[in-house]
A = this chain, B = another copy of it.
């Protein structure tokens, strides 16, 4: 799509014709200096009650609104944070939690959505231009992109991404521990053959989950494992199960999916297209604990991410670093909770 043309001069001037009151207008109306008006809108600035009353009377009469953007130029703080999310459809709860928590603290969210995690580079320039106070990233960045935040002195917290050798703050669900819990449950339940279905290739979370499951299976002496890849969508879960059956000639005892939505796709494919009983013929597990996983039709066994705790941690870590940029990077890892549904034979 084409870039927008610049606003033409004629509409610009008509805008000015009905322009909003400025702090200059307020100062003139109240018969005080502009800096006195500014002080009335600055927390902690010294202003007499008489002066404040006088200014506020003019503010009210003129319908003046202090300009947060102009104030940001003075305080060097925009009171905006950037939030970068990939695959928005899979993160509505996370975005909702982050947005509500920032809003509660008087901070606004500049939203960037990207289709593929690898697209993130092109939006970083835009972040600098808006001089956001900090950024929460729920998408994959290359290490050299991560370093840009440090160079620019912009605090950043990664949500559900971590970088082992890069000193950067992150909040994660422990993917590997979660997969260990799922595998342990399945192996205790006498499942001997497995399929592991991964998400998009550029997703680090998916990689950690699938590798976590495979490593745990290996460590328990299980080698009857086939792998297939999806892209986190329902349809890709269905296709992956078809592929698994094609590879093995039959369904395995259990299918471990890198997220809940693909697990839901697997369950529907098994039940409605392969005429299999879940969990009678095949057990299915997911990861995330999304709402639909708990619907009675699925009642999926999964790892529930503690989204509220993770969002709260991300918001407070970020704002702490905006307030005090000397704070060192910190990695926080939250355990997911095994949610035992009825999609696993026990």
Contacts and interface: CB of A to CB of B under 8 A. Distances in A.
A77 B11 contact: no
Interface stretch (A164-172, A174-182, A245-253, A294-302): A294-302
Contact of A92 (B68, B89, B269): B89
Contacts of A112: 99, 103, 108-109
A273 B104 CA distance: 39
B1 A104 contact: yes
Contacts of A11: 323-326
A100 B15 CA distance: 28
Contacts of A2: 105
Given A1-B105, A99-B111, A129 B326 contact: no
A297 to B, nearest CB: 4
Given A92-B88, A295-B234, A20 B129 contact: no
A309 interface: no
A286 to B, nearest CB: 14
A323 B92 contact: no
B131 A108 contact: no
A107 B91 CA distance: 22
Contacts of A7: 75-77, 322-323
A331 to B, nearest CB: 22
Interface in A109-160: 109-113, 115, 123, 125-126, 128-131, 151-153
Given A4-B319, A113-B96, A296-B268, A70 B73 contact: yes
Given A89-B96, A272-B296, 8 more contacts: A4-B107, A16-B76, A69-B73, A89-B92, A95-B113, A103-B112, A108-B126, A109-B112
15 contacts: A3-B106, A4-B319, A6-B43, A7-B76, A8-B323, A11-B325, A16-B76, A20-B153, A67-B129, A67-B131, A68-B131, A89-B92, A89-B291, A108-B130, A267-B297
